[in-house]
Amino acid sequence: MEIILSNIPGHALLLVLAANFVSKLILYFNFFIWFLPPFRQYKGGFFLYFMILALTDPLGYLLYTIFKIAPYYFYAPSSLFLLFVALRYTASLKPGIILFSSFISLVCTGLFIISQDVRILIILMAYLQFVIFFIFIIFLVRKLLNRNILYSYLLFLILYEFTIILKSILFIFQINTSIFFIYLLNALDVLICIYFIIFNLDRKSVV
Q: How many CB atoms lie within 10 A of CB 161?
A: 24
Q: Which residues contact 116 (CB under 8 A, 6 or more apart)?
A: none
**Residue numbers in the chain where pLDDT is lower than 70:** 1-23, 72, 93, 174-178, 203-207
Each residue of 147-156: pLDDT tens digit? 888 889 999 9
Q: How many CB atoms lie within 10 A of CB 33?
A: 17
Each residue of 63-105: pLDDT tens digit? 878 887 777 677 888 888 999 999 988 887 677 777 888 888 8
Residue 198: predicted pLDDT: 92
Quote the CA–CA distance of 154 and 139 in Å, as a whole number: 8
Q: The pTM is what? A: 0.83
